[in-house]
Structure 1
């Protein structure tokens, strides 16, 4: 995995091993856990990344809406008032 540091990879591999042991009663080695993590990153990574981008886009859009409202509140009336 290129995107994880050595320490992050070791942590995730250990957590996968722990999951298999606690939830499935299976002991898997470091190589098997590393392969599983690599597979999950390859398969799930793009979905999770795209979800993060979508969430970030929503936050930015909301901030733009708020900024637009703030800017509109600063506008002052221009021109002469109409006489009736």
Structure 2
């Protein structure tokens, strides 16, 4: 069961898989294949990305809420 609601286009997923492979070769001098890269990406999407997404939603909410309170300052008395 895929509990993540984060969806990627095929092109974006391929780009991210490539980035993971490049990371491993450049930072760890380790070559990993497509399967390992896809598994790593799926783990990130399912287990880690929701936290970043939720933080972005919260930050957006706080920003909008703060700015909407600023609207009261333009009232005419």
Aligned to 1:70: 74
Q: Which string of whole-angstrom CA distances, capped at 9 and with x for unpartnered residues, describes residues 27-76 of structure 1?
A: 000111011000011111220111011110111111111111112xx12x
Specify every segment of 5 or more residues in structure 2 that has no aligned partner in the other structure, as ranges. none
Matched, 1:15 2:23: no
| Equivalent position SS for 2:11 | helix
Q: How many pairs align?
A: 73
Q: Which runs of 4+ in 1 moved over 2 A?
A: none
For residue 51 of structure 2, the aligned residue among 43, 47, 50 is 47
In our comparison, the structure showing a higher alpha carbon Rg is 1
Q: Which runs of 5+ in 1 are unaligned?
A: 76-84
TM-score when normalising by structure 1:
0.81
Q: CA RMSD, aligned part only?
A: 1.4
Higher RCO (Cα < 8 Å, 6 or more apart): 2
